[in-house]
Amino acid sequence: MYVAPSILSLDYSKFKEQLDTINEKCHYIHFDVMDGHFVPNLSFGPDIFKAFRKNSNLFMDVHLMVSDPSYFSDVFIKAGADGITFHDEALGTLEDKMALINKIHNNYCKVGVSIKPKTDVEAIIPLLESVDLVLVMSVEPGYGGQAFIDSAYDKIRQLDEYRKKHNLNYLIEVDGGVNDKNAHKLKDCGCDIIVVGSHLFKDNLEKNIDDLNVYE
């Protein structure tokens, strides 16, 4: 199970130092994009993203918490994203969701679909054979530092069973309230990637990553 640091919580006065640590110890960087509309908060645009891209060869996983994922997927693919994850709730029809998935794939970029805590796995079943990753939100999207919502465990188990049964190979990622207390259980449920923000950056970044890398 891999650790994807959520750089929403990075200490920007130590940008280079913290990014060097992440480059050395991780495989992914999780980059949260918020538009102040799909979620009541704003985060980063493509210029900040490019500063990370310039200083890292890790897989840059862009989590779009936006109402217009089609527009922003173009923006972040152009900026150098390796993977784009959109929210199922942001698009209405299966046709629109499939069109977005195909567009992103046609740009040689991986695609993830994310569900909020109140959305059931059933909502995304028709997409599962077309995506590379499913992101289960274990907090309401919008802010770092919230408490983990337990319903995520069952969703991860359900997604793991489904991919085994149907011979699919999407990755399962969880985001929100992940720490050294719940990582073990998340691995047992079948999770492949944990997104971790406030827990990693609250004090000793190196040690906090090492402690979670034991689950690799």
Q: What is the DSSP letter of 125?
A: G
Tell me the window of 20-28, 92-100, 151-159, 171-179 that interacts with ligand DX5 (CB under 6 A): 171-179
DSSP E strands in the chain: the ranges are: 2-5, 28-34, 59-65, 83-87, 110-115, 133-137, 171-175, 193-196
- Give yes or no for a contact between 193 and 4, defined as CB atoms under 8 angstroms apart: yes
Amino acid at 26: C
Q: Does 5 bind ligand DX5 (CB under 6 A)?
A: no
Which lies closer to ligand DX5 via its Cβ, residue 119 or residue 168? 119
Least Cβ distance, residue 129 to ligand DX5 (angstroms)? 25
Q: Does 198 bind ligand DX5 (CB under 6 A)?
A: yes
Interface residue with ligand DX5, options 2, 32, 82, 182 (CB under 6 A): 32
Q: 87 touches which of ligand DX5, Zn ion, none (CB within 5 to 8 A by kind)? A: none
Amino acid at 33: V
Sheet holding 28-34, edge to edge: 2-5, 193-196, 171-175, 133-137, 110-115, 83-87, 59-65, 28-34
Query: Does 96 participate in catalysis according to the annotation?
Result: no
User: Tokens 């054979």 map to which residue?
Assistant: 129
Interface residue with Zn ion, options 3, 76, 175, 212 (CB under 5 A): 175
Which lies closer to ligand DX5 via its Cβ, residue 98 or residue 149? 149
Tokens at 47, concatenated: 């210029």
Catalytic residue (choose from 20, 88, 175, 203): 175
Q: 208 touches which of Zn ion, ligand DX5, none (CB within 5 to 8 A by kind)? A: none
List residues near ligand DX5 by CB under 6 A. 6, 8-9, 30, 32, 63, 139, 141-146, 175-178, 195-199
